Chain A
Amino acid sequence: DAKTTQPTSMDCAEGRAANLPCNHSTISGNEYVYWYRQIHSQGPQYIIHGLKNNETNEMASLIITEDRKSSTLILPHATLRDTAVYYCIVRTKTGNQFYFGTGTSLTVIP
């Protein structure tokens, strides 16, 4: 599985969009980008995933660059409850190992 690089921490004002970047320059053609978040020692929670095209669901949007070497998770209107560690993972759809790394600690500020 490809390695990912994320900033260690970020702040975002409540109500503003939170944009969390991830670099995955060694991603393979059949590897997807997955995003999870972990709120204060709970089990990580799935947010979104994508292959090439941008994706949106009720939680977030995922923007993947055309060369697929990086992506951005967007939380359109951050709330205090979005304060969490966000993990970017790349893997195949049938891959049997998930490696999480250290993620980005997002703090939403009132």
Chain B
Amino acid sequence: NAGVTQTPKFRILKIGQSMTLQCTQDMNHNYMYWYRQDPGMGLKLIYYSVGAGITDKGEVPNGYNVSRSTTEDFPLRLELAAPSQTSVYFCASSYPSSGNTIYFGEGSWLTVV
């Protein structure tokens, strides 16, 4: 009963480094999302995908890239990490015909120093 799985859970990056946050879901959901949440703030949508091969920008896409080669996986790539990208990142998925309830992963804590 995995649901949405994110890795890594914690990571420290140096300024200018790159990394990929992995996200996989086993519920056969069409829609997948990446959010970031800064301390004391709400969630901001970074990118979303409505199916394999289709991605689109959310509210705060700058500095990130995504791909969706399979239904299950939706990795988030950070290029040239900056301190402003220090945040908690949440991956999520949903399926329209099941009421579009969105299911979240446990989060990935990223610090850029």
Which residues of chain A have a CB within 8 Å of any CB of chain B? 32, 34, 36, 41-46, 49, 85, 87, 91, 93-103
Alpha-carbon separation in the docked complex, A99 to B33 (Å): 11
Contact at B42–A98, with CB atoms within 8 Å?
Answer: no
Contact at A99–B99, with CB atoms within 8 Å?
Answer: no
**Chain B positions within 8 Å of A93 at CB level:** 96, 99-100
Q: What is the number of contacts between chain A and chain B, taking CB atoms within 8 Å? A: 58
- Report B110 CB to chain A, min CB distance, Å: 13
- Report A34 CB to chain B, min CB distance, Å: 8
- Report B89 CB to chain A, min CB distance, Å: 11
Contact at B48–A97, with CB atoms within 8 Å?
Answer: yes
**Chain A positions within 8 Å of B50 at CB level:** 96
Contact at B96–A46, with CB atoms within 8 Å?
Answer: no
Contact at B106–A42, with CB atoms within 8 Å?
Answer: yes
Alpha-carbon separation in the docked complex, A67 to B94 (Å): 28
Contact at B43–A100, with CB atoms within 8 Å?
Answer: yes
Pairs of residues from A and B, 6 with the lowest C-beta to C-beta distance, nearest first: A43-B104, A102-B42, A100-B43, A94-B96, A46-B101, A96-B50
Alpha-carbon separation in the docked complex, A95 to B33 (Å): 12
